[in-house]
Chain A
């Protein structure tokens, strides 16, 4: 079963971290990624650029209108994701819980990925 782990980060928290804390955080992420690679569970993932560089397209007066900034106004912003292929949602949640951003004011969302399964109905 494939799950996407959506990483919500709080840029304010991240900005307050010391150089050492930041380095530790990156090391921790690297270690988790390496573990997932080794266990054969890692499918993929990307980190996103700072939310301030975001553009949002929305319908306005019947036409798509472009605005600067993210779609959702929130302290936590979508910062990236990783996709894992693992046994259960419990295991996916365990991976999410180990993600360091959770400790620094962020949040992880665990979402099952839809498949093109054609099992008989």
Chain B
């Protein structure tokens, strides 16, 4: 297990997140995809940090985790309001705005 394994694993996880974000319609699944993307970046940071013999990358992981937590807190609050108003979480059925 070398550096390139970790880097490739991180990039593959990120791509899964991107694909999930594009093909899924459920709002909660979209939030989960974004979380997957953020966490895979954490993995890439740690891999680079180890490869470059630096410590900054590992510190950035904690910053990213805090930001991801704040983002998902606001995101879930908005999702709950959406469900109360529309009765559905399907983003393709929520389309009052268009043009």
A joins B in a complex = no
